[in-house]
Amino acid sequence: MTSLSTDVLRDLAPDGRLRAAINFGNPVLAQRDAQGKPQGVAPELARELAKSLSVSLELVPFQGAGEVVAAASRAAWDVAFLAIDPARAAGIAFTAPYVVIEGTYIVRDDSPLRQIDDFDRAGVRIAVGKGAAYDLFLTRTLKLAELVRAETSAAALELFVARRLEAAAGVRQPLVHYAATHPGLRVIDGRFTAIEQAAATPKGREAGLAYLSQFIEEMKATGFVADRLQRSGQRDVAVAPPA
């Protein structure tokens, strides 16, 4: 690890505590246990980072990635766990990824949409969580299909059902879980994008970013990320390769 300098502490814990944004809209990375306590790989990384900095930790909860991104301009957090996306790069700096997850679609069993290439058609309405990584990707890449935005990824699934839209887009694991608990739905094989999840800090905190980047590489190399994914039940999620 990079030595712990006053510049690192100024960047990552400016008031003597680490404020870590936790996005509960992505259940692959963060969940709540039976007592409501944050668990999963993102909260565990935040706890380990605070320990390495020898500072206290404040977990700042959000219900969607778009909310996390918007809060960066208010200096509401010092570290976050977000998907890398060029639309976010103006105000946020990212480490290399620590996890790679798939973006795909959910449809009704009787839908004629069978594979990823079927979806970019006129008349296909796709529910998405506003500001999520897959929303940003599909906004750039779809030419004919219509995106219908909800405030969160969970709300997008409810919107898909309530308005009988043709599909919803999202992270594969929560889509599979939703289909398993809602008969008559199926998840499309394949992916429209690989979503690289990384640690992040507001732009301009160069010493903090360097420390954070080395921290993430160490957490991958030691097996910490893989172990915390396993512990939180995310056994089919891929740890990103070394940077």
Q: Which domains does the chain have, with CATH numbers?
A: 6-99+197-239 (3.40.190.10), 101-193 (3.40.190.10)
Q: What is the pLDDT of residue 69?
A: 95
For the CA atoms of the chain, what is the radius of gyration?
A: 18
Q: Would you give the DSSP letter of residue 63?
A: S
Per-residue model confidence as pLDDT tens digits over 19-78? 999 999 999 999 999 999 999 999 999 999 999 999 999 999 999 999 999 999 999 999
Residue 2 pLDDT > 60: no
State the average pLDDT over residues 70-97. Answer: 95
Mean pLDDT for the chain? Answer: 96
pLDDT at site 235: 86
Do residues 191 and 103 lie in contact, with contact meaning Cβ atoms separated by under 8 Å?
A: yes
Question: Tell me: the pLDDT tens digits for 199-223?
Answer: 999 999 999 999 999 999 999 999 9
pTM score, whole prediction: 0.87
